[in-house]
Amino acid sequence: MSRSNETPILILSLVFTAAILGGGYWWFSRQSGSNIIDEIIPAQSPTPTTSPTPTTSPEQLPSPSSPRVFPLPTSVPAGTTVSINGSTSMAQINKALKDGFESKYPQTNIEIDAKGSDEGIKMLLNDQIDIAAISRPLSDAEKAQGLRTVSITEDAIAVVVGIDNPFRKGLTQDQVDDIFEGDITNWSEVGGNEGTIRVINRPLISGTHQIFKEIVLEGDNFGTTPNITTMERDATTPILRALGTDGISYATDAQVVNQQTVRIVPIDGRMPEASNYPFKRTLYYVYKDPPSPGVQAFLGYATNDPGKQDIKATNN
């Protein structure tokens, strides 16, 4: 072949080779270009437009107002003394827990009295006692002063008449409301004999008075009609004695269930031990935060099995 013919072929070969090399470089740079750029210029995170979602919502966090749990103490130092005062409705419970605690933990002393829920709160705030027994919830103002409650048991408020009262029927919730507000004043209006209904009311300081007003009268006031008498002292025994043959009053079920001088009036056909009895309330012990070791020990006993058995025995 002549040299003149070889020259064009050589040129074409060089061009073809250059094209292959250039194409390969172009393809390689397309595939790896982004990584090369990322290595030269670090990637910038986008600016968030909203705050990150918390891993725990506020509802899941422990509430500072959550009821405190007191464990049953294994031992209590000799000489420990705890004083309790308050609701007359809790007098039997206080006595049962006192006996049980002192028996389980020798050389301890539980001092008890029952001057009413409000008086118990006042004494606790004035550091005159260690625990207040109350038959109503604490107010916001009382909570703000560092008082805390422990639920002890649920109790029912019984409506009672004297054992010799000729009225032998039950009452509806509306009839009870009307009797204690002074709208019904004669036994004949509720199916009884002709005669004035003599209402025996507890004093304002009584926790039972306050809870009766809340759950029975639904926040309305007691009546002021002449047939309604308010006792000066919050004591159940004098109230029961005053019923006679024409009186009506109320007390915690535990205080009257075993009384032989009164009869508990069914409400809407239900007695206080029924699960759907309408007039129920919670009884509490109140302590000042932080509780002393003696208070912690007593509340640990009262809220665990030994104390629960003592409380249950008061209803038998």
User: 10 Å Cβ neighbour count for 9?
Assistant: 10
Pairing of strands 198-201, 247-252: parallel
Helix (H) or strand (E) holding 39: helix 3-40
Between 20 and 206, the more confident residue is: 206
Closest CA to 185 of 225, 240, 239: 225
- Please determine, looking at this structure, whether the domain spanning 67-154+282-313 carries the CATH number 3.30.420.40: no
Q: The domain 155-280 is classified under which CATH number: 3.50.50.60, 3.10.580.10, 3.30.70.20, 3.40.190.10?
A: 3.40.190.10
CA 119 from chain centre, in angstroms, equals 22
Domains 67-154+282-313 and 155-280 share a fold: yes
- CA 256 to CA 289: how far, in whole Å? 34
Asked if the model's pLDDT at residue 316 lies above 80, the reply is no
Structure tokens at 46: 């986008």
In this structure, what DSSP letter does residue 113 have? -
Q: Where are the domains of the chain?
A: 67-154+282-313, 155-280
Residues 240, 256 contacting (CB under 8 angstroms):
yes
Residues 108, 80 contacting (CB under 8 angstroms):
yes
CA distances from 157 to 60, 99, 197, 212 (A): 36, 25, 19, 8
- CA 246 to CA 242: how far, in whole Å? 10
Summarize pLDDT for 136-165 with one digit per residue, the tens: 999 999 999 999 999 999 889 999 999 999
pLDDT score of 16: 55
8 band by pLDDT with thresholds 50, 70 and 90? low
Q: What's the whole-model pTM score?
A: 0.65
Between 12 and 313, the more confident residue is: 313
CA 244 from chain centre, in angstroms, equals 38
Summarize pLDDT for 169-178 with one digit per residue, the tens: 999 999 999 9
Ranges 59-63, 103-107, 207-211, most confident? 103-107
Summarize pLDDT for 20-56 with one digit per residue, the tens: 555 555 554 454 444 433 443 444 444 444 433 333 3
- CA 15 to CA 112: how far, in whole Å? 113
Decide: helix, strand or coil at residue 281.
strand
Residues 63, 143 contacting (CB under 8 angstroms):
no
Mean pLDDT of 261-284: 95
- The angle at the Cα of 90, spanning 284 to 95, to the nearest 5 degrees, equals 115
